[in-house]
Each structure stands twice: as structure tokens, then as C-alpha cells.
Amino acid sequence: MTIKHEIVQSNFRIFIKPGCRGKEKWNKILIGQKNNLEYDLRSTDWMLTKVRENQTYAQNLYAALCNNDFVRADAWPILKEEHWGCSWRYAGGIIADMQQQGDYIDWYCSGIGDGLGNGDADGTRGYVGEGFVTEEIRQDLKTLGWLVVDKSE
């Protein structure tokens, strides 16, 4: 592959192939994989399956990623306070990328009543507010090797 441009964006190195259009032009390669929750989420098959097969789970993971910090469940990152966090928009993008469809806006504000038309106004979908971490999500993140940082201290 001949590389025309290389752009470094957040946790991605993006290579643009000459002659490609639309979504095919982006070949994203995650960099900085150490202590990177996004990498762990997007490279774990069982987590990808849960997000792709269950919209409620996907929204609950989006909500958990918002307004929270996370730390790898190892002594050194905890002691050094090497936290990982992201914006609501970025969290929505992670979920859309994991599902291989849509965009960040499909999830953005989905925990606020009707959201942007993507929420749970009548409460039947099991969506939770941004920043809320369900027990299932907390346990899955722990299995993945990550802890939610307790901000109450």
C-alpha cells in the first residue's frame, strides 16, 4: 500500500490510500495500546459481540464511558493515577465503530430522556443517563482489566 498522507488523531494513526473514496479511504490503526480502554474494547471479541447484538448494552456502555475516568487494574497505573477518559462525542464514536454502523450522533445524549430522538423517553429500552455505570458494565470492564475511578474521594 502506498501511503499518500498520514494523520495522527487521538489514539489513531490514519493512513489515506490514494484513489480511495468514502469510508474505504480510512485505514485506522490504533496506536498507544498500553493503558488504552478504547483499544481493549475494540479488540475484544466478546465485548464487540455484546455491543453489536444488544442496543441496551451498547447504550449502557456509551453512558458508562461518559463523565467517568478508568484505570487499568494493575498496581502501577493505579499508583501513578494513569486514568483514561473521553468526551460524550468520542464515547458515541467508539460505540458506533464497535457496531460497525452509524456515527457518534446515534448515541450522543441518548441517556437524556428522548435525547436527540435516539433516547428512551418512555423508559422501555433500559437506557441510563450519561455517567451512570450499570453493574453489568462494571463487571465486564473489570473482566477486561479496567476499574471505574471513584471520584467521591
Which of 61-70, 101-110, 114-123 bottoms out in mean pLDDT, i.e. has the lowest?
114-123
Q: Is the per-residue pLDDT at 32 higher than 70?
A: no
Tell me the pTM. 0.77
- Hey, where are the domains in the chain? 1-31, 34-148
Over range 22-51, report the average pLDDT: 75
Q: CA nearest 36: which of 117, 145, 118?
A: 145
> Length of the chain in residues, anyone?
153
Q: Give the span between the Cα atoms of 83 and 99, in whole angstroms.
A: 25
* Mean pLDDT estimate for the chain: 81
